[in-house]
Amino acid sequence: MLYVYLDTTQIKLMLLKKSLLGQYESSFLKKNLQVELLKDGLPVNPDVIASGLKEALSGFKDQPIKEKDVTLILPQEAFLFFREDMPVDVADAVLETYLREKARAHLNSDMDNSHFDYLIRESEEKKKILFYAIKKEALLAYQKPLELLDFNLKSIIPEPLTYFKLFEKTLRANKKENIWYVSYDQDKLSGYVYDSYGLLEKDRWTAEVTKTKKIEDILQKQAAKYDSQSIKLNRLILSGAQSDAIRQDTFTKNVGVWTNPIKRIIPHFYADYLKMLKGQNSEDLPVLTHDMLIGAFIFSAEEKQFVMFQPSKNSSKTNRAPSKFSFPTFNLSKKVALLFILSFLITFGILFGLAQTNTNMISFKMPAISLPSFATPTPSPIPATPTPSAPTPTPTPPVIREELKVKVLNGSGIVGKAGVVKDFLKNAGYEDILTGNAATFDYETTVIQFKKDQEDVRDLVSKDIASELEDKAIFETLDETEAADIVIIVGTDFK
């Protein structure tokens, strides 16, 4: 399985080989070229792309590529895009027709000559449709360099969808956020603006860091520009190889937008996928450099219904209904069919004759049967059935504070708040306590996350911290795979 990302002068590759245990042996490569590969969302020269891919693939010389299917990730400018509120009065059967008409109005493009698909996202009890399309001529232009290398284009994913998938699990259903995802690599910045539904600004933002233009100043200026456009940024998610050297606390202060490094988000929220991709390899995955490839892998696993085109058909839209099974057809000549029938009849005749011969040779002799006596038996006394005693209820074991594993995450934005809460819990009798930062620092109300059927643990902890809260805590379900028994996300309401 090969994932390929193409940008203006860059190619990134992720080669996956699946093991019997369902894990993957993953390999990554990056190739910078001196020539332009893409311009205005289209390949400049298919031969140049094919040559660049071939050169990049040579880095896998110790791993022969048997898989010929390619998932291609492309920048947003390669696609047509619009957002639309989900209509409440449009049936699923006519939704595609409705979207075709909306696409003609929004994009001024003929959808009959485009491949397209859409996603429906929900937040704050509202739904929006995210519509993506690529013109057929553009798709053919991307297929050509792959065909020159004997590869098959299996699927195509817009780059913004891969980034959104990497922080989607950090979003909360009851709160709308505006998120700026920025990559910092080779002194270049590029990014997309999202809200809780998905891509908000269709254009990719780019800038260049120089000695006179520091990254903090560039981002602060652009954030102010978004603010003037009524896009108040709640979070800045920073990725890219050069972002590894940035300090979160000082960076947040200088930019004016709370900053989340993607390297902290992915291991916390997507640990299962990282484990799957790492396989038996003990080395950490290059999530900062190849984030869009890892995001594409997760997107492919979770959004199987999103298919921009059908490789085996020339249809402009994927049929979301399951395909019907059809029996295979066989082309047999009349001579072969006649010989088959004749052989069958001869074999059947021989077997039938043998069966008749064996039947006549078998003789039966009825064995003597001794009939039992019909004397009336003496009835045995039936013992009285004892009345069952009521089962003794199993007492619920008491929750012992010293044995609970507690994780305290600072979501208030107040420096050292998690440590304060830890000291409070220590005094209350808890011993096994870990502290850290939440994915965001905009929690106004403290959240208590507990595992299913562990209401007794929830009740104990919430009772112990009730005196320190201005209002009642919010309860959420904790994943069963979480090592901690309970997680407290500290809000600004914690005294």
- Mean pLDDT across the chain, nearest whole number? 83
Residue that the structure tokens 């249809």 belong to: 315
Question: Which has the closest alpha carbon to 290: 8, 12, 11, 3?
Answer: 12
**Which range in 58-72, 255-269, 324-338 is most confidently predicted, on average pLDDT?**
255-269
pLDDT digits (tens, 9 = 90+) for 296-315: 999 999 999 898 887 754 44
The answer to whether the CB of 90 falls within 8 A of the CB of 44 is no
Q: Which two tokens stand for residue 476?
A: 């959420």
What pLDDT, on a 0 to 100 scale, did the predictor assign at position 312? Answer: 53
Three-state SS string across 126-188, please? EEEEEEEEEEHHHHHHHHHHHHHCCCEEEEEEEHHHHHHHHHHHHCCCCCCCEEEEEEEECCE
Confidence of residue 41 (pLDDT cuts 50, 70, 90): confident
pLDDT in tens, 368-419: 444 444 444 555 555 555 555 555 555 556 888 988 989 999 999 888 899 9
pLDDT of residue 392: 53
Task: Answer whether residue 185 shows pLDDT above 70.
Answer: yes
Beta-carbon contacts of residue 38 (< 8 Å; ≥ 6 apart): 6, 7, 8, 44, 74, 75, 77, 78
- What proportion of the chain, given as a percentage, has pLDDT over 90? 47
At residue 64, does pLDDT exceed 80? Answer: no
CA distance 183 to 190: 5
Predicted local confidence at residue 353, as pLDDT = 66
Q: What are phi and psi of 213, to 5 degrees?
A: -120, 100
Q: Which domains does the chain have, with CATH numbers?
A: 2-159+290-302 (3.30.420.380), 167-262 (3.30.420.40), 401-490 (3.30.70.2390)
- How far is the C-alpha of 325 from the C-alpha of 328, rounded, in Å? 9
Alpha-carbon radius of gyration of the chain: 33
Global pTM exceeds 0.95: no
Is-contact 16 303, C-beta < 8 A? no
pLDDT at position 61 over 90: no
How far apart are the C-alpha atoms of 447 and 489, rounded to whole Å? 5
Written as one string, the DSSP assignment of 404-416 is -EEEEEE-S--TT
The predicted pLDDT at position 97 comes to 87
User: Is the distance from CB of 191 to CB of 163 less than 8 angstroms?
Assistant: no
pLDDT at 130: 95
For residue 349, is pLDDT > 90?
no
pLDDT digits (tens, 9 = 90+) for 99-127: 888 888 888 877 888 999 999 998 877 88
By DSSP bridging, strand 152-158 and strand 69-74 are parallel
